[in-house]
Homo-oligomer: A and B are copies of this chain.
Amino acid sequence: MSKNKPETILGVLISGGGTNLQAIIDACASGDLPAKVGVVIGSRPDAYGLIRAESHGIPHFWVDRQAFNSNDDYDKEIVRRLKENRVELVVLAGYMRLVGAPILDAYPDAVINLHPSLLPSFPGAHAVRDALEYGARVTGITIHFADAGYDTGAIIIQEVVPVHQDDDERTLLERVHKVEHKHLPYAVKLWATGRLKREGRRVKILPKHTGG
């Protein structure tokens, strides 16, 4: 499900600002992450992540759902763009659409999603606000393999973020983002260096240098 060579080619799917895309770009540039972003695809024309891609000379596209008859057709077009750019690992970095069978089938165990809560707590589009309103003392982030459900796939990494008593959505979101930016490139690195082994719902992180 993963591989071991100098540069894994990533396709990053976004819907918004793309700060996690930026974290990945930076980690690639610094040499920490043996990968490069081959293409960025946005589900919205105004996703700022597209501008980030442009400024780094990375191929980038807005794919307009309105131009397709079905979600499947939309996803097939995304797969076409990914394959065209020789993408090996798909990273959902603030991508607000469910990825369907065309993408999952083309990239088995090779679509990674990032979610701003400790799943299965607080799935959905408002995870940080929901955690605050629930009165949770801790929340966090989950990086997981995407599957056909919303925020249900096998977990690669979870990291805790404390909720402070005086937090509002903005302060908590900021703390969550910092943790995302640190761990998403790490999760991509684990995949790119062949260190992830999924067994059903449990994902094993293999030790370094297993010669895999």
Contact = CB atoms under 8 A, between A and B. Distances in A.
A155 B140 contact: no
Given A165-B204, A204-B165, A205-B165, A137 B121 contact: no
A160 interface: yes
Interface stretch (A44-52, A82-90, A103-111, A128-136): A128-136
Contact of A137 (B133, B134, B157, B200): B157
Contacts of A121: 118-121
Given A120-B122, A121-B121, A135-B200, 11 more contacts: A118-B121, A133-B201, A134-B155, A134-B201, A135-B201, A136-B155, A136-B158, A137-B155, A137-B158, A138-B140, A138-B159
Interface of A: 118-122, 133-138, 140, 154-155, 157-160, 165, 200-205
25 contacts: A118-B118, A118-B121, A118-B138, A119-B121, A120-B121, A120-B122, A120-B134, A121-B121, A134-B155, A135-B154, A135-B155, A135-B200, A135-B201, A135-B202, A135-B203, A136-B155, A136-B158, A137-B157, A137-B158, A137-B159, A138-B140, A138-B159, A138-B160, A160-B160, A165-B205
